[in-house]
Amino acid sequence: MASIDWCFPPTPRTEDPRTFMPSDIPAGIPAASDASAPSDSRRRRVLVWLVPFLWTLGLGLWGLSRQDSVWRDEAATWQVAGRSAGEIWAMLANVDAVHGLYYLLMHGLFEVFGASTATLRLPSVLAVSAAAACVALIGRRLAGFWAGLGGGLALGLLPSVQFYLQEGRPYALVAAGAGLSTLLLVSLLESGPGRRTWPRWAAYGTAVLVCALLNWLSLLALPAHAATLGWVRAGRAVWLRWAAFGSVAVAGALPLILFSRGQSDQVSWIPPLTWHMLIGPGILLAIGGLGAWADRADRRALSVAAVGLPLLALPQLGLIGLSLVQPLFQDRYVLFSMVGLALLIGAALATAVRSCAPRHPRAARLVVPGVVGVSVLALLPVELGKRAPASRVDDVLAVAGEVAVLKRDGDAVLFVPAARRDTALVSPSAFGGLADVALAASPVASATLKGEEAEPARIREALLGQQRVLLVTDAAKVAKAPSAERDKAKAAVLREHFEVVEDRQVRGRRVTVYERRA
- pLDDT at residue 290 tops 80: yes
- Judge contact between 187 and 137, C-beta under 8 A: no
- Rounded to 10 degrees, the C-alpha dihedral 16/22/23/25 comes to 90
Q: What are the backbone dihedrals phi and psi of residue 499, each rounded to the nearest 5 degrees, phi first? A: -130, 150
**CB 286, CB 265: distance < 8 Å:** no
Q: What angle do CA 211, 155, 127 make, to 5 degrees?
A: 40
| pLDDT higher than threshold 50 for residue 11 | no
* CA–CA separation, 32 and 44 (whole Å): 13
Q: Is the pLDDT of residue 305 over 70?
A: yes
Reduced 3-state DSSP string for 337-366? HHHHHHHHHHHHHHHHHHHHCCCCHHHHCC
What's the pLDDT band for 29 if we cut at 50, 70, 90? very low
DSSP state string for 104-136:
HHHHHHHHHH-SSHHHHHHHHHHHHHHHHHHHH
Q: How far apart are alpha carbons 124 and 61 in whole angstroms?
A: 11
Whether the pLDDT of residue 35 is over 80: the answer is no
**Per-residue pLDDT band at 362 (split at 50, 70, 90):** confident
CA distance 287 to 289: 5
| Diameter of the chain measured on Cα atoms | 94
Q: Report whether pLDDT(439) > 70.
A: yes
Stretch 133-155: mean pLDDT, rounded? 96
Task: Give the whole-angstrom CA distance, residue 204 versus residue 198.
Answer: 10
pLDDT in tens, 394-407: 999 999 999 999 99
Task: Please name the residues in contact with 476: beta carbons below 8 A apart, sequence gap of 6 or more.
Answer: 505, 510
pLDDT of residue 343: 97
C-alpha 167: how far from chain center = 7
pLDDT per residue over 91-143, tens digit each? 999 999 999 999 999 999 999 999 999 999 999 999 999 999 999 999 999 99
Measured distance CA(303)–CA(289) in Å, rounded: 14
- The region that residue 425 occupies, defined by phi over 0 for left and psi between -120 and 50 for alpha, beta otherwise, is alpha
Fold of 396-516: Rossmann fold (3.40.50)
* Stated pTM of the model: 0.89
Residue 306 near residue 228 (C-beta atoms within 8 A): yes
As a whole number of angstroms, the distance between CA 510 and CA 417 comes to: 12
Contacts of 77 (CB under 8 A, 6+ apart): 102, 103, 106, 120, 168, 169
Average pLDDT (248-276) is 91
Distance CA 284, CA 272 (A): 21
Average pLDDT taken over every residue of the chain: 90
Which has the minimum average pLDDT: 144-153, 257-266, 295-304, 322-331? 295-304
- The pLDDT-based confidence of 38 (bands split at 50, 70, 90) is low
Q: Cα–Cα distance between 161 and 212 in angstroms, integer?
A: 19
362 or 112: which leads in pLDDT = 112
For residues 285-291, average pLDDT: 92
* Alpha carbon distance 438, 185 (integer Å): 54
DSSP sequence for 22-82: TTTS-TTSPPPPTTTHHHHHHHHHHHHHHHHHHHHHHHHHTTTTTTT---HHHHHHHHHHT
pLDDT digits (tens, 9 = 90+) for 162-197: 999 999 999 999 999 999 999 999 999 988 655 688
- Please tell me the predicted confidence (pLDDT) of residue 481: 87
Distance of CA 142 to the CA centre of its chain: 25
- Rounded-to-5 percentages of helix, strand, coil across the chain: 65, 5, 30
The answer to whether residue 31 scores a pLDDT higher than 60 is no
Cα 341 to Cα 281: distance, rounded to the nearest angstrom = 11
- What pLDDT does 511 receive? 97
Rg from Cα positions in the chain: 26
Domain range summary for the chain, segments of one domain joined by +:
48-391, 396-516
Q: Which of 273-287, 288-302, 363-377, 412-426 has the lowest mean pLDDT?
A: 288-302
Per-residue pLDDT tens over the stretch 54-96 = 999 999 999 999 999 999 999 999 999 999 999 999 999 999 9
* Displacement of CA 502 from its chain's centroid (Å): 39
* Closest-CA residue to 436 (of 404, 406, 472): 472
